[in-house]
Amino acid sequence: MKCATEGSDGASRCIKIGLLAVAGIGAVSWIVMQLWNALLPDLFAGVARIGYWQAVGVLLLSRILFGGLRGGCHGHWRERQAHGESLTPEERQQLKGRFGRWANCGSSDKAEASGNGGDTGDKSSSNA
């Protein structure tokens, strides 16, 4: 987010984004609190109702446990993609051999494989 733009327009934009973020977190926390209080005390014996700040804590705890503390999303995939692009063709073929039937998943070879499969299907249907 670039807040240091020319003029006061950049500062007002940053303030608007900040207020929207605070309002969004507040709304999600309220929804978590309402869902918790509507479902969990009835489903499980001994589970108490929670307040707003406890719902914020549940969201923060779930972020730590399931989302990690790193900013950004899926940064490790970019590193893997860069590593894959730096491989030689021989290394790529060797890596594909390790994955067996998943070797063509998401690659450009998949289109060729499906094209060959379609040709084989046409030949078998014409032979029948």
Range of the domain at 17: 8-69
Residue 18 and residue 28 in one domain: yes
CB 7 within 8 A of CB 13: no
Residue 83 and residue 57 in one domain: no
Residue 50 and residue 32 in one domain: yes
DSSP percent split of the chain into helix, strand, coil, nearest 5 = 75, 0, 25
**Across all residues in the chain, what is the average pLDDT?**
76
CB 33 within 8 A of CB 7: no
* Gyration radius of the chain's alpha carbons: 26
Residue 23 and residue 50 in one domain: yes
CB 56 within 8 A of CB 31: no
Residue 40 and residue 91 in one domain: no
29 pLDDT more than 90:
yes
Residue 61 and residue 86 in one domain: no
Q: Which residues of 43-71 are buried (b: 16+ CB within 10 A; e: fewer)?
A: eeeeeeebeeeebbeebeeeeeeeeeeee
Q: What does the pLDDT read at residue 124?
A: 47
This prediction has a pTM of 0.48
Number of domains into which the chain is organized: 2
Q: Is residue 3 in a domain?
A: no
Q: Is residue 108 in a domain?
A: no
Please give the C-alpha separations between residue 74 and each of 61, 62, 78, in angstroms, as whole numbers: 20, 17, 7
- pLDDT, tens only, 64-120: 888 866 655 556 677 777 877 888 888 888 888 887 766 566 555 544 444 554 444
Handedness of CA 22, 28, 31, 35 (dihedral sign): negative
Q: What does the pLDDT read at residue 110?
A: 47
Residue 34 and residue 20 in one domain: yes
33 pLDDT more than 80:
yes
Residue 76 and residue 59 in one domain: no
Q: Is residue 127 in a domain?
A: no
